[in-house]
A and B are shown apart, each in its own frame.
Chain A
Amino acid sequence: MKRMKRRDFLKKAIKVFFSIIAAAVLSVFIYIYPSKIKERRLQFVYIMDEDDLPRKGIRKVEFQYKADDKEVANRVFLAAAGGDLTAFSSVCTHLGCLVNWDNNKKEFICPCHAGKYDMNGNVIAGPPPKPLTRLPLKIEDGKVYVGIKI
C-alpha cells in the first residue's frame, strides 16, 4: 500500500472536518424545525340556528369551539343576497389579520394594511392577492354549521 503524503492526509482531514460541521449545522436546522405539525382537517362547527340567519346584507357571526383543549374564538361573515347565502372567512388573504365589515361603505376592511373587499369578497383595494375565502355551510335540523379547517 502506498503511503499517504502528509499534505494529502491533511487535505482529507480538513474535508472531513468541514463535512462534520456541515452535518452538524444541518441537524441543528432539522432539530429546530417543528417535529409534530398537526394536520388540519375540515370540521363543521355550530354557529347559529337557522331561524337567526340574515335575510339580506352581511352579518358578523362570532363563535367558539374547542381544539386541543383550548377555547378558540373565531368569526365568519354571512352574506345574504337574493336567497343565496355565502360564508366568508374573516381572515384577510394578505397576511392573516381579521377583516371587519363596514356597513356604511359596504366593504370589508382589513385593519392591518387597509385591504378592501366588496360584498362578494372580491378585492377592491389594497394588497390582498386573493378574494376572501368562501367557507362551506351546512344546515341540519335547523342548525347552521360552518366548515373550517381545525
Chain B
Amino acid sequence: MGKIFDWIDRRFGVKEPHKKFLQRPAFGMPEKVNYSYCLGGMSFIYFLMLVCTGLLLSMYYVPSEKEAFKSVAAITNDVTLGWLIRGLHKWSANLFIIFIMLHTIRVFVSQAYRPPRELNWMAGVLGLVIAMASGFTGYLLPWDQKAYWATEVGTSMFGTVPFIGDYLMRFVRGGLDIDGATLIRFYSMHVLFLPASMAIILWAHFHMVKRQGIAKSL
C-alpha cells in the first residue's frame, strides 16, 4: 500500500491482525448471485447518508419546545442548502426502511438464515427494530401537528401493555403528556442511543457475513 498508509500502519499495526479479513475468503462467492444481494449494502449506504446528513442537521436543530419547529423551518427556508440536507435525511430514512425490508425478504427467500447464520438473522432483526425506533423518534422532532399526533398515538400504544402500560408510557414520554421532556428524550434517543447501538449491531452483522461468507443461493 501507499507510503502514508505504511507510515501509519507501522505505528498503528492494523494490517497484520486484519490480514485474514482483508483477503478474499477461501470459500469465495457462491454461483448465481444477482443484484438482490446488493440490497443489504444499499441499506448500509442509506445508513451512512443518514449519519452524515443527521450530523449536519444537528448543527441547526434546537430540541426545545419553543425552538424546535422554528429551527426546522429555518433549516428548510433560511439555511443555505438546508432544504437539501433535510430532504436527503428524510428520503434516506424512508428508503433505509424500505431497503432493509427488501433485504430481509431476499434473505428469507434465499433461506440464508439457516445454520450457521441464525445469529446474523437475529442481529438483522435487531437492526430493523433500531431502524424503526429511529424512524419513530425522528418523526417527533419537527414538532408540528403531524409529529405530535403520530407520537400521541404511538406512545399511547405503550399504555395498552397489560399491568405495566401506564409506567411504560410515562417512561417513554418522560411525563404524563407529550411536551418538552418528550421532545428532548426522543432527540437524545434519535441522535445518540440508537445510532450508537445501530453501529454496534452493523459491525456484528458485517463481521458474521465476512466470517460465514455469502449463503449459497437456491
> Are B153 and A95 in contact (CB-based, < 8 A)?
yes
B42 within 8 A of A: no
B149 within 8 A of A: yes
Please give the distance in Å from B172's CB to the nearest CB on chain A: 10
Of the four ranges (under 10, 10 to 19, 20 to 34, 35 or more), the interface on chain A belongs to: 10 to 19
A50 to B6, CA, bound (A): 86
Stretch at the interface among A33-41, A51-59, A134-142: A33-41
A97 within 8 A of B: yes
A97 to B145, CA, bound (A): 11
Chain A 8-47 interface 0/1 with B at a Cβ cutoff of 8 Å (1 = within): 0000000000000000000001001110111010000000
Complex interface: chain B residues within 8 A of A40 (CB): 176
Complex interface: chain A residues within 8 A of B175 (CB): 34, 36-38
B106 within 8 A of A: no
Using a CB-CB cutoff of 8 Å, which residues 97-114 of chain A contact chain B?
A: 97, 112
Interface size in chain B (residues, C-beta < 8 A): 13
B133 within 8 A of A: no
- The residue on A at minimum CB distance from B152 is A96
A97 to B167, CA, bound (A): 20
A34-B181, A112-B149 in contact; A95/B156 too (CB < 8 A)? Answer: yes
Task: Please pick, from B153, B171, B173, the residue contacting A97 in the complex, using a CB distance under 8 A.
Answer: B153
Q: Spell out B's residues near A (CB within 8 Å).
A: 149, 152-153, 156-157, 167, 170-171, 173-176, 181
Would you list 15 pairs from A and B whose C-beta atoms are within 8 A, ordered by A residue? A29-B171, A33-B167, A33-B170, A34-B171, A34-B174, A34-B175, A37-B175, A40-B176, A94-B156, A95-B153, A95-B156, A95-B157, A96-B153, A97-B149, A112-B153
Q: Spell out A's residues near B (CB within 8 Å).
A: 29, 32-34, 36-38, 40, 94-97, 112
